Structure formats: structure tokens, C-alpha cells
Structure 1
Amino acid sequence: MLAVVVASTSAVVTVAVWSFSKTVDDNAIDITTGDTAAPVPQLESYENGFNILLVGIDNDATQSAAYGERDGTLNDVNILVHVSADHSNAVVVSIPRDLIVAHPACTDAASGTEFSAMAARPVNEAMSRGGLPCVVKTVSELTGLTIPYAGLISFDGVVQMSDAVGGVPICLNAAINDPAAGLDLPSGTSIVAGDTALAFLRSRKGVGDRSDLARISSQQIYMASLMRTVQGNGTLTSIPTLVRLANAAATNIQLSTSLADIDTMVSMALALKDIDLDRLLFVQYPGTTDLLRISRTVGPLKMRDH
């Protein structure tokens, strides 16, 4: 009987891994912008840690019409994750969507359309100027960091991923009532999943000063709780949960070709799983969102890999 269980489990895992790998490969995005002179090093060869850019888009062509429509697709969520060289700590940097930055010249790989460099425009316009590769290039030039890994997720992806882990606990000091986002949460702890999780991440009018900067705080609270959930509820040791999570990720997240590899993802997961959450720092990139006050900014804040 034990042999049957083991064999069956192994078969399920094998099929799941094959299906996951194929789907990820099919959806992968090349972020090298044609530069093949310097191949991306494997994760284990990083001596100064590694960087991943997570990009959330607001108007994916495949998403539900319930989320509304816009003229173009914007990279409204831009989160840069830096893991230290000894993998003992990590810094999560949220870049405000309206942050005024210099945009480099970009080329849309699908259409071949070329976009000239711009001196000062909101960072969330990068997606419409060449997709994920342009977002990576823009953030890389802003921060001065090499960003070899990236992932792209839509609204539907957030819903599916939160469901896959069984929801995420959120503790609020005060109730949130935001009809515009479809969100009504009491003070105290609530388990948010599916559309409620997405509404929490999108809500502006129900939190803080009702700005995008206040929404960033909600996103960081959610990410911290998600990591605690994954570390503490047996997700990394539960085959059914891992399969659900892998399927949700494969169908809802587009990874860079550098990351769309099982060995790389496993190595990265092993590097992340033991990080003490007390050594996980959430910060916001400083700067201005006001075009009229752009002359007052100090320019790009160059960060260092260490």
C-alpha cells in the first residue's frame, strides 16, 4: 500500500513539474533586450546577492472585464527585491507608480516599435514603451542595479495566487470601507483571498491619505503576511499546496527567461525560505510624483548590491 502511495505521489509530482515547466517556458519573456554578450549568471554564482523585479499590471488583455479597461497597459506596481549575499536578509523596495523618472530608449520586441528616451515621466509608463524588458531597463537605470530576474503578474494572477495559499491574514487598526474598490473589512484580523485580496491591494480611498503612497503600505503589509503564511503553514512541504501554487503561478505570472528554469527557481526558493522575517525590510523609493516640482528632486538614488 505504501509503495502505491509513494508511486502515485511521485507520478503526480512529475506530471505537475512537467506541466509547470512547459507553461512557464511558453510564457517566458526575454528581458535582455537583445544583449547576449554577457549571459545572465546562475543563481549560485552570485557573490553579491541577487535582484528580482516584480511588476503588477493594471490592464492585461486576458484579465476579467470586471476590473475595468484603460487605453494602455501600465506597470502600476513595481517592487524590487534585493537578497543579500549570504541570503540572511532581504530588502523590498516599492517604487511609486507616479514617480517621475528618466526613461531610456526602448524597443517593443513584439512590434518592433522604437521609443525615444524621455527626461521626466511617471515610471508606470514604461510598460507601454516596450513591455517588461523596458520596465526592467527603466528601473535598472533608476537604481543603478543589475536586474537579471523579473516577473509580471496581472489582477487575475493576484486572485489565483491568494486562493492557492488559502488566503492571507491581514490585521487592521481601523476598518476599511471603500465602495470604489469593493472592499469592506472590519478592524482586527481578516483572512483575505480572491477578489477581496485584490480589492485590499487596489484600495486607495479607504486607506491613509487616499494616495498611491498609502496603497503601497497595504501592498507591503500583504507581502509580509504572505511570506509568514508560506513559511508557517506548511506550504513548502505540502505537495497538494505546492501543486496549486505552481499551477497558479505558471498560468498567471510571466517570468523572465532567466528565471523560467526549474533549477533556478528551486535554488531561489531555497535561498528565500530561511530568511528571518525580522530581517525582511520594506521601504519605499524616495522621490517626487509632481512634474511641476521635478527640478527639486535630487535625481536617481543609486543603490548598491551587497
Structure 2
Amino acid sequence: MYLPFLKFVLKSSKLTKLLQKNIKPLLGFKLSRALLNNSYKSLSPKEKKRFHQKFAKIFRQDSSFAFNGTWNMRFMDSKIIAPIVKENMWLTWDSALSMLGHDLEIKLFYEDILKSKDKPQVFFDVGANYGTHSFLFQSQGVETYSFEPNPRCYDYFNQLFKANALTPNIIKKAVGKTPGNAVLSFPNKETWLGTINQNVKDTVLKRNDLINIDVEITTLDTFTQDFGINPDLIKIDTEGFEIDVLSGAYEVLKNTKPIIVFESNTKDDKLAIFEKLSDFDYSIFEFKDLANPLDLETFTTSSKRNFVSCHNSKILATSN
């Protein structure tokens, strides 16, 4: 039986602030944590998003009342067990809430397409980070390949999959325009901001806590040709390197024509991506309106950062 008290808390800014001040000790004790977790399961997708926004970072600066345990959820018909590790509380708690609460429009799209007659058979997760997107697809029996060059992500990636009796397919390389090598830069506790785009390093990542590591680059064309694997759906989140990923996928875009979920933040990046996808007869959509493609001006001036693109011979078969 799910307890709906979190629904009432999230409706009130005063109650939300009160819970923010007191939630750590509640999480620290097994019984109260179970009650919170049970109530969390009753939340709607939008309420899970709000819960993530308000509570995901509570252990970032202070790990008091940290615990070893799990946070349990459901995605479609599958139970999710997210391991929580005391020594990495800032990461594992945030990752657990991010599973269903972050990038909500993308997660709802995933659920729709997984329920559709066009359910993907092969998913490429480019910039997989800790594997939360990869996990959702693999939990539904979709063959999944996770491209992630940052070794700092692998421990929790493997813990998440092991807790759910799954085995990840981690490709420990970055993806770009041509095979080679590069330097991946990322803030110490924000691996998801990792990039090999020099312009992003020079502008967005002007920080004192940057870590730099050498990584190998492959291309989607190289990978698909070497292993004979062709994706139906690709997610690209590479912090400004998306156009390079697409540039290294000429044969994939031309012949396989996968659906592409991607992030883009700047007008210049959007312009390059629009031109590249248009060359392959792709249209770009916002998740809120999958029936009407964006023109160049609307896309480049959009305040959104997440988009989906589909070849014009196909239809995005979702209910949203």
C-alpha cells in the first residue's frame, strides 16, 4: 500500500522546505526510509520531477545520516533497485532520484516508444555517464550499448546493473567524428558535465576543480561496421560534442535511420545539428509536440535543451 503523504508535502512550499530540513534523519533510519520510499512510489511523474529538484542534492555538501541501502522504484512493469552507498552518498542518492525524476520529457518518451509497435531492438547510449538511461532500456529487454569514456562512472554503473541482475555493455570510449584520442575534462563531482569540446572547456568549464583524462575516440560508423550492430534509437548527451558524434555516423544516418534523442544548448550548435540532420532528411521535434517538426528559426531560438529527431520516412509513434 502506497502512502500519499509526499503528494501533500510537494503541494506546499512550506511543507517542502520543512521536509528538506528534516529528511536526512528520516532517511537515516530504516523504517522511516521505507515509509518515504513507499510514498515516493505513489508520486506522479511530474511529482517525481519536483522531488528530484528539491531533494536530489541534499547530500552534496553534508553527508550526515548517510546510509547503505536501496531506493526502490518501478519503470513500466519492472522493479528498479537503486543501490545507495554511504561513502558516495552525494552521488548514489542523486542518481537514484535522477532515474525517473531528471529529464522527465525524455523518460516519458522512452516509456511511450517502449510500449509502441516500434519498440527499439537496439539502443545506443552515447555519453552514458552512470548508465541510468541505458538501464531503463536494458530492463525492458532492449539490446543496449553504453558509450562512456570516463572510468569514474564505472563503479556505480556496474553496481546499479548488478543490483538488478543485469550486465551492462559499456564501451569505454568517447564517440566523435574520427577515431583517435582526446582529453576529457570534467568537474570533480559532476562527471555528467564531462566534455572533449575545447570551446566548452574554455567557456562553460572555467573552474578550479577540473579533472583531465586521456580517452580514446571511436565513431558510430566504425563501431557498427566492426560489430555488425545497428541501432534503432540513439541518445546523445556529450556536452557540446553532439555534432561530432553525428558527423561520425554518416552510414548509420544514411542506411539505418535511427531515432535520435539529443541535447543541444547553444544557437551555433543547434544550427550545425539542424543542417547535418537535414542533409539526411531528418526532422527535429520538441517532446511536447511530436507531430510538428521545428523549422530552423524555432529550433535555434528554443529555450529547450532536449530534442528528438526522426527520419522523414518514419513517424514518432508515441502517445505524448
Identify the TM-score tier after normalising by the shorter chain.
under 0.3
Q: Which has the higher contact order (CA 8 A, sep 6+)?
A: 1
With structure 1 as the length reference, what TM-score do the two structures score?
Answer: 0.25
